[in-house]
Amino acid sequence: MSAPASRSCVLAVLGAGLVAGGLGLTSAAAETPSGPITVDFALQRFPLSESAKPVSEIARAWHKPKKVVVVVGDDVKRAAWLQAGLPGIKIVGVRDNHAAAAELADADGGVFVECNSAAVTAAKTLEWVHTASGGSDKCVSNPRVADSSIIISDSRKVKNARLSEAAMQFVLALAGSLDVALQNMPYGEFHAVIGRRQMQLEDSIMLVVGLGGSGTEVARMAHAMGMHVLGTRGSSTGDKPDFVDYVGLADETPKLAAQADVIVIGAPLTPQTRDLFNAAMFARLKRGTMLVDYTRPEIINSRDLVDALKSGKIGSAGINWADTAPPAKDDPIWHAPNLILTGAHATAAAARLDAAASSGSKILAPGDIAGDDEDNELRWLLVRENIRRFANGEKMFSVFDLARGY
């Protein structure tokens, strides 16, 4: 099925499945090539975590919300679709954050709005913001978030496929020295640039730092390739997946890192993970270790990484620079050997959204940037379910924990 046809099919079944008064989907009518479009189906694709307490207990003075502002971009029908499944709440669809600012003053919730914007800070009735980002550490710069006046939920675990695939793309490219091959091509010779020893991934050891949604997917793919997988989690080892040999707590990271041939960082940025991979950590590692960071660059001390790459302590590295701006043009990281440095798709999208908000040019909503049509509809379905839960004071998905930092 072509992408336009798939999108039409998915939107059609979503509309056909609306039922009055509920979330809105009937599993019998709503079918796609992958399965029924229901919340349960969406949660199989994106296994979100519920908050420990209902929002009625988390919020300082929870009340039944009357208005939720949603940034929908040019998807003008999205607000109507949300409204049909959410009777009793006024859903206001806006094109961008510039338009959202005019609507937030009397809103109770905001979806895909900038959590640290002046408009959010000034919106005294606002109790909840859902962000397009997979992490919310930057939201704490808003004083109303920092003092828990506003609850934040984010888009963690709804980007598993893209993030985990990005991590494994780094691993495969670095293991096969494909970056070196690209350097060779302008010279017209296969050996014009000194290469490095290719790494055999089968039977090697991978450590996944941050065995969350996308981290678990990385572990699953690595195991399927014949790698031995270790992992860490921030607060609890939880249930160990069958494809992971050992799951440790965060404080075991140095010990486990010393055993690894490949280290993949999937952890959120917190005070505990900032600069976690620095000169002291690198000194523990096997010589020639591969290091991949697909979440936040601040988890690695970039100056120490440059030194480790030059010395060969780190054999190769890949960083998805998921930050608000790229490194300065004179930053040594641009010239570090055996490094693949890419800009995050989400960062580029955010930059386009910000630029469009100022210029008034046509933009896409954060949910539309995601690519696959069916997954995009499942993401929106979970957004609508979170709005419903907020409206009813229930436990919500992916609530940001100020104490943990994620």
What is the full DSSP assignment across 50-64? BPSS-HHHHSTT---
| Sequence-ordered list of residues with C-beta below 8 angstroms from that of 300, at least 6 positions apart, any chain | 265, 275, 276, 277, 278, 291, 293, 319
* 6 pLDDT more than 70: no
Residue 126 within a domain:
no
Q: CA-to-CA distance for 336 and 307, rounded, in angstroms?
A: 8
CATH of the domain at 228: 3.40.50.720
Residue 374 within a domain:
no
| pLDDT for the residue 34 | 52
pLDDT in tens, 319-333: 998 766 789 999 999
Residue 338 within a domain:
yes
Q: CA-to-CA distance for 208 and 167, rounded, in angstroms?
A: 10
Pairing state of beta strands 31-32 and 35-36? antiparallel
pLDDT in tens, 216-274: 889 999 999 999 999 998 877 667 899 999 999 999 999 999 999 999 999 888 888 99
Residue 362 within a domain:
no
* 364 pLDDT more than 70: no
Nearest-5° Cα angle at 100, 99 to 105? 120
| pLDDT for the residue 270 | 84
* 313 pLDDT more than 70: yes
Of the two residues 357 and 240, the one the predictor is more confident about is: 240
Domain count along the chain: 1
- If you average pLDDT over every residue of the chain, what do you get? 82
Residue 45 within a domain:
no
343: region left, alpha or beta (phi > 0 left; psi from -120 to 50 alpha): beta
Can you tell me the mean pLDDT for 148-170?
A: 84
Residue 297 within a domain:
yes
Residue 328 within a domain:
yes
Question: Containing domain of residue 183, as a range?
Answer: 160-345
Residue 14 within a domain:
no
